[in-house]
């Protein structure tokens, strides 16, 4: 039994794209952006607390008055702020699509 090019058994099924594929990508990017903003907010709060403890404004812990925390605090806060900004940019980009 010979198969020809017109034989229906040899024709590959046509793959169609789902028209809702953008909504899944939007939800995923929106979730990632929200998570980035949430982590950024936590880092920002931690950075401010560490800075205040390192400088000696916020007392009551072994970190009070230690220069290391006065240096690491602003760095952590800046990383958190950058994460919040990038999360906001991702959210805005996701809405445009």
Host domain of residue 55 = 42-96
Q: pLDDT tens across 62-90, in order? A: 999 999 999 999 999 999 999 999 988 87
Residue 27 lies in a domain: no
Residues of the chain falling short of pLDDT 50: none
Closest C-alpha among 62, 37, 63 to residue 50? 63
**How many structural domains are present in the chain?**
1
Q: To the nearest whole percent, how much of the chain has pLDDT over 70? A: 67
Within a domain: 21: no
SS3 readout for 53-73:
HHHCCCCCCCCCCCHHHHHHH
41: Cα separation from own chain's centroid: 12
In the chain, % of residues over pLDDT 90: 47
Short-list 97, 94, 87, 73, CA closest to 29:
94
Question: Does any domain span residue 90?
Answer: yes
């Amino acid at each position: 039994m010979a198969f020809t090019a017109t034989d229906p058994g040899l024709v590959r099924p046509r793959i169609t794209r789902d028209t809702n594929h953008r909504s899944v990508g939007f939800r995923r990017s929106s979730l990632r952006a929200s998570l980035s903003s949430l982590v950024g907010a936590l880092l920002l709060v931690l950075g401010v607390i560490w800075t205040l403890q390192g400088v000696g404004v916020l007392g009551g812990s072994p970190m009070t008055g230690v220069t290391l925390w006065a240096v690491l605090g602003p760095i952590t806060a800046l990383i958190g702020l950058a994460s919040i900004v990038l999360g906001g940019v991702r959210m805005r980009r996701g809405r445009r699509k």
